Every structure is written in structure tokens, then in C-alpha cells.
Chains A and B, each alone.
Chain A
Amino acid sequence: MAVAEMRRISVLIPRREHARLLKALQRFGCVQLSEVERTETELPPWESQQAGTLEEQQNQLHWAINRLSRYDKEKRSMFTPLPGVEQEILAREDHLKAMELVSQVEGLERQNGDLRGEEARLRLQQEQLSPWLEMDIPFNMLKDTAACRVYVGTAPGRGILQLAEDWADRPVVIRRFGSIRESVSFLAISHASQADAFHQALKEIGYQQVVPGTGEETARTQLMRVNEALDGIEEKKNEIVREMELAAAHLPQLRLAFEALSAGKARADARSKMAHTASASLMAGWVPARAAEAMSAKIREEFPDAQVALSLPKEGEEPPVLLDNPALVSPYESVVTGFALPAPGAVDPTAVMMPFFACFFGMMVSDAGYGLMMAILIPILVRIMKPSKGARKLFWILAGGGVMTVVWGALYNTWFGFAPWPTVFDPVNDSLPVMALCIGVGALHLFSGLILGIVQNIRTGKPLDALFDQVSWMLLVIGLGLLALPQTAEAGKWMAIAGAGIILLTAGRNKSKNPLKRLLSGLGALYGVTSWISDLLSYMRLFGMGLATGVIGMVINQLVGMVMSGGIIGIVIGAVIFVGAHLFNAAINILGAYVHACRLQYIEFFGKFYQEGGKPFTPLRFAPRYVRLNDTH
């Protein structure tokens, strides 16, 4: 239960060995490299260039994987675990073949783009040709002759009909194509002698000249050609899909190559933090104290030429923060890191927080049936899904919450909304004891926060601060609480007065030298009593959320009871409703319980003592994205 102690580690190694050293460190996964102080701060250009190339290739691979995933026939459900691989595979550096595949995918994608452009062009042509299909004259023959004038275009349907009627007995031919609509495509031929008058008449009805096409073929033949071309494009596109599907079969290799590249990128970044001369390389970093000796022994064993030195952090150096807790507690570290890491040297609240978190969670979900499901199903799910480390932590938190939910559900006597036996705490009909219980648990939570504050102050050599800032408040709050009972009122009065006195006199000790001003800020601090009241009241949510689950569960059962009274069909529908509605109720309450349990830690509990501000410990290691590392040890 603590923030892990850190040691400085530095390794001096022949330059030709440094790449192998980085690989070994990555395999060990527990050294975080830090910048070695160098005289020249500029990196050699080829070095940053190399990192840049790696990143570019990484992006290309990522793109190709995303693109190919659409063609991946192998569908994976959310319950299938990621494929497991050995570390050695990720340390390989043969991504050349993968990059070939990437450029093949890029080529296919380019072809696909070209085809789409071509298709759009042909579709447009198809649309232009379609009105002229009935015109059986090749386009290049639509020309004026010595005796005739030719007009091709569109005009309003009504106007064309009128025109045909008006000019019926003159040397003019009008042929309409398609049905009469708002706008009609037509071909008209007039004798040259009538040309001017006819053109004028056409203009009046709204004639617009159109060039439907060129060439020696009719519209119909041209359209046939266009359709053939479109079929060809469709064919080619299918061909591309087939090739993409073939390439998608190589996805596992691509993913592995991506992981290897990422690992290489991590090493390149680490490498740029080292200092190199022509013949030697120097590495500096952090290693958890617990693993430090073993680590340096391992390095010495694998690299007989290396010089390894361990040392305590220097004054003023801020080591990275790693939380180190026993297996039962460690899932809850994710709750702490979700807020902020503790400052180096501050207390790690995880172990103290854990029982409260699980207890609050249980009080809010508060249905023993739901709790049983969580406690049983989640470990099975973890078995099947083999989730990543982060997700696994969340799963275990929920499972632990499930166990506490069974406890509280049994006390509240709620099993899937039913109440099978006598109730210990009945929030609906006798709510005051339950409320008092919630406030009581809250007070315990806040006090344990104060105790952590005392531990922290004593550990940093400030026992007086512990007396002034924490013990004083404990006296005051407990004293005020005791005032409520007549038997203890007298003792409570004196405790409260003592506490208030200490706060009044000491709260302003660092603010000013002027005693009057100190007293004033002491008074201001005493006003903090109100925040204690609101903090305590905040725990009423434990009651409210618990009540919500129970009552809604009860309503569901009543509804189901009504439906089920309607014969066989009613029983079937009722069973479906029962399962669905309880799943919904459980889901929404588990979410609410998790979120509110977090909030009670972050605001109420951490507010009493927490010193945040640590930087996370990020060792050089394999952090795969698409695969899962097999446990080697």
C-alpha cells in the first residue's frame, strides 16, 4: 500500500551494444528512461529522421489495417479475446513485407478512386443520352443543309404542341422524344425559306439549344457503349474487392508488423534520450526500488561489458509515480489514477479507499440478485474475454462491488425486486435508520481521510500540522455529534470547544504574523463546518440510489405479475419483460453506482487530505494494441 519507491539507474555500455540493451529493457518492461544530460542538446539529424520515418510507416500501417478491416471476413464478437503472442515476435524488425502489402493496398485504393471518377463521368453521359434514345439519326448528321435548318433542343411541352399545330401546313417537321412533360426534347427541321420565322417562333416558346452528343452513332448505340463501360467498371471494382479480401487475409501479419513497428518506435524514442559518443552509450532512468537489484543483476548478466549503477533520487528530483498494492487492492488503483496520481512521497489512498468504494457501490446497487449475477458472471467473462489490463481492473472492481451488493441487498432484503424474508433495513417504510446509517458510513469515510492526512503529515515530519489540521477537526466534528445524545452531551461540548479552539488559533499560522489577522483566518476556517455538513449530506445519495433500484425492481415485478396472469402467452411475454427490464435496471444502476462511488472518493474523501501531482511511471515496454502478450512469467 504505497507509492512505489524509485531508484535511479544508469548504464554505461559499448555503443555497439546499445540497441540490444534497449531491446532487453523493453523485454523486462520496468525501466523508464530519462533524458541524459548532454553538452550538445541537438540530436544528430539522422536520429530524428529515423524516428520520423518510423512514425510515418506506423501511420501508413494503421491506415491499411483500418482499410482492410472492412474486408475482413473473420468477424469477431466483443467476447473473443485478442490473439495472444510471445514477446519475441514483437521484438522482430521485419516489417518490410508488411510495407509491401501496404503499398499494394494503397495502389488498390488509388485504382478504386480512379474507377469511381470514371464511373461518375459515365453516369453523367448516360443521363445526357437518355432523352435522345428515340432519335435514330447519328449525331454527326444533325447539320443544316442547303435547303434545311436543323434545331435540336428542349422546350416547354405545352409550347411545342401549340407550335406543331400552328406550323402544321408549312414545310416544317417536328419530332418529340419521350412523353409530354414540363420540358420536352425535340428535333425540328424547317425549310430554309421559313428558317427565320420558325426560329423566332421557337424562341418565343422557350427553346433551348442542346448538343446531345457527337460521333457517327445514334444515341442508342452510344448508350449501349456507355452501359458496357459501366459494367466493365463494376467488374473491375469487384476485382478490387476480391484483391482487398485476399490482402485482408494477411491482416494478422499486418497487425503484428504494426506492433513491432510501435515497439521499434518506443525504442527509437528511448534511444534519443541516451547520450552517445563514438564508442560508448550512456543510459539513465528510473526503476522501482523493489526490482532495482534484480534488474541491475540481469543487465550485468546479459551485458558483461556494461557498467550499471543504482542510486537514490537526488534532492529536488521528482521520481515518476507507480502505485504498488497487493492483488486484491490493485484494481482500485484505476479509480485513483482516474482522478490524478498522488505526488511523489504522498500517501497512496488505494487500500483505504477500496473497502469504502465497494461498500458504497453495494449500497447503491442494493439488489442482492444483481450483485450475485455480477459476482458470478464477471469472473467468467474475464476468463473468456481475456481483457486488457485496464479493462480487467474495471471488471474486478465491478465484481468486488457485486459481492458487496449481495451483502447490502441481503440487508435491504431485495432479490431481483422481491423481498423473500424479514427485512433488516427497510428504506421505503422505515427510512430514518437507513439514512442515519448512510451518514454514519460517510463520517467514517471522511475520518479515514483525516487519518490519512495525519499519516501524511507525520511522515513528512510535521506532527504539529497533524494536530492543528486534522485532530482539531476530528475533535470538533465528533464533539458536535456527541452533543446530540444527552448522556454524552457534556463530553461532546468540551471536545467541540477544544477542537474549535485549536482551529481558531492555528488555522491562520502560515498566513500572517499579525495575531489579529491569524484569528480572523481562524474564524474563516471554522466556517468550514458548513462544508462538513454538506460533505456528510452528500452521502445521502447512498440512500437515494439504493432506494431507486429497489423501488424500480419492485415495479417491474408488479408489471410482470399483471402480464403473467394472462395465460401461457402472458407467461412467455412476462418472462421476456422480467429479464429485459431487470437487465436495464441493473445496467443503469451499476453505471450510476460506479460514477457516484467515484465521486464520493474524489470530492468528499480526497478533499480531506489528497496531494496530487505525480507523473506516471511509463517504462520502456511492449504495449500492443491489436494483440495480447502471453504471460511469460
Chain B
Amino acid sequence: MNLSIGQVLAFAAAALSVTVAGLGSAKGVGLAGQTSAGVSTENPEVNSKLMVLQILPGTQGIYGFLIAVIILVNTGALTGSIKAVELMQGFAFLAAVIPVAVVGCLSAIYQAKVASAGMLMVGQHPEMSGKAITMTVMVETYAVLALLASFLMVNAIRL
């Protein structure tokens, strides 16, 4: 199989999108999980409330995966016959994944910090879990915007 540079760049874009955003989410969920374990030892009854907070930084990884899949769908990689991708289109794919990869990665970590702080709050005041979740979701907004920007750019590349 002969691949053009453009096609390889498209693959690299998909790979970066999953990898970078996923790393951020893994780090974020891990961080939040540590806090969750700590708070649960003090106050086991709030554990289920902490679970929601722990999952929240995980969505960025899903967004990264989403963009990767859309790139693979649009390039025809999933159906088995890869379409021709010009060199500049390949670079355009790379540019398009920057928002979801970079913002996804960093926002997952920042979100995990808010989630961790929220968990400490819930440990002391279980009735405030709604507020803790709201605070954490605030950070998510920017990941959603990045996802949308990446999505629009990827979809704008007509092969």
C-alpha cells in the first residue's frame, strides 16, 4: 500500500488527537481518583457522590477520540479505501486537532484540580455536591468549545 504524505499527516492528526487529549484525561481522572480515595477513607458515605466528580475530567479523552474517529471516517480509513489527501490538506488536519488535543489535555488537568477541591468540600458538606459538580463543569465549557472548533475545521476539509 502506497500512502501519500498527506494521508500520513491525517493519520498523525488522528493519533495526536487521541493521545494528547487522552493523556490529559488519564492524568485528570487519576488525580481526582487519588483525592476521592483520600476523602472516602475519612467519610465513606460520600463515595458515590465523589464518583461523578472523578469521571468528569474523563470526557476530554472522549472528545479527542471523537475527533480522531471523524478524521478516520472522513478520510475513508474506516471503510478500507483511503481517499487521496493532499499535502496541505494533511497539514490542515494537523492544525485542526490542535484545539481538542491541547485544550483537552490541559483543561482535563485543571478540571481535575477543581474536582479534587470539590471532593474535599463534599467530604465536609455532602449536601453541597451539586455545587461542586457545577464548579467542575465550568471548566468543561472550554473543552466543549475546543471540540466544536476542531470538529468544524475537520469537517471543512473536503477530500
Using CB atoms and an 8 Å cutoff, list the residues of chain A in contact with chain B: 338-339, 428-429, 431, 537-538, 540-541, 543-545, 547-548, 551-552, 554-555, 558, 588, 591-592, 595-596, 598-599, 602-603
B134 vs chain A, min Cβ distance (A): 5
On whether A588 and B62 interact (CB within 8 A), knowing A555-B69, A595-B56, the answer reads yes
Q: Is B151 an interface residue (CB 8 A)?
A: yes
Q: Please tell me if the beta carbons of A588 and B134 are within 8 angstroms of each other in the complex.
A: no
B52, A595: Cβ atoms closer than 8 Å:
yes
Which 4 A-B residue pairings sit nearest by Cβ, starting from the closest?
Answer: A338-B130, A599-B137, A541-B144, A544-B144
Chain B residues near A551: list those with CB within 8 A: 66, 69-70
List residues of chain B with CB within 8 A of the CB of A598.
Answer: 130, 133-134, 137
Is B66 a contact of A540 with CB atoms below 8 Å?
Answer: no
Nearest-neighbour CB distance to chain A for B152, whole angstroms, equals: 7
Extra pairs beyond A591-B55, A595-B56 (7, CB < 8 Å): A339-B131, A428-B155, A431-B155, A541-B141, A548-B66, A596-B137, A602-B134
Complex interface: chain B residues within 8 A of A541 (CB): 140-141, 144
Which residues of B line the A interface, CB within 8 A? 52, 55-56, 58-59, 62-63, 65-66, 69-70, 73, 78, 130-131, 133-134, 137-138, 140-141, 144-145, 147-148, 151-152, 155
Q: Report Cα–Cα, A504/B108, bound state, in Å.
A: 40
Interface residues of A, dominant DSSP: helix
Question: Could you write out 10 A-B pairs with CB less than 8 Å apart?
Answer: A428-B73, A431-B155, A537-B145, A540-B145, A544-B144, A544-B147, A551-B69, A552-B62, A588-B58, A598-B133
Least Cβ distance of A270 to chain B in Å?
A: 22
Expressed in whole angstroms, the Cα–Cα distance for A567 and B137 within the complex equals 45
Chain B interface mostly: helix
A595 and B66: CB pair below 8 A? no
Contact with A547, one of B140, B141, B151 (Cβ below 8 angstroms) = B151
B152: chain A residues within 8 A (beta carbon): 431
Which residue, B52, B138, B140, has most C-beta atoms of chain A within 10 A? B140
What chain B residues lie within 8 Å of A591 (beta carbons)? 52, 55
Residues of chain A within 8 A (CB-CB) of B155 are 428-429, 431
Residues of B within 8 A of A543 (CB): 148
- Beta-carbon nearest neighbor of B70 in chain A: A551
Q: Measured between C-beta atoms, what is the minimum distance from B18 to chain A in Å?
A: 12
In the assembled complex, the Cα of A541 lies from the Cα of B130 at a distance in Å of 19
B63 CB contact (under 8 Å) in A339, A548, A558: A548
Q: Residues of B contacting A429 with CB < 8 Å? A: 155
The reply to whether A548 and B137 form a contact with Cβ atoms under 8 Å apart is no
Other-chain contact of B134, A428, A592, A603 (Cβ < 8 Å): A603
B47 to chain A, nearest CB (A): 14
Closest to A338 in B: B130
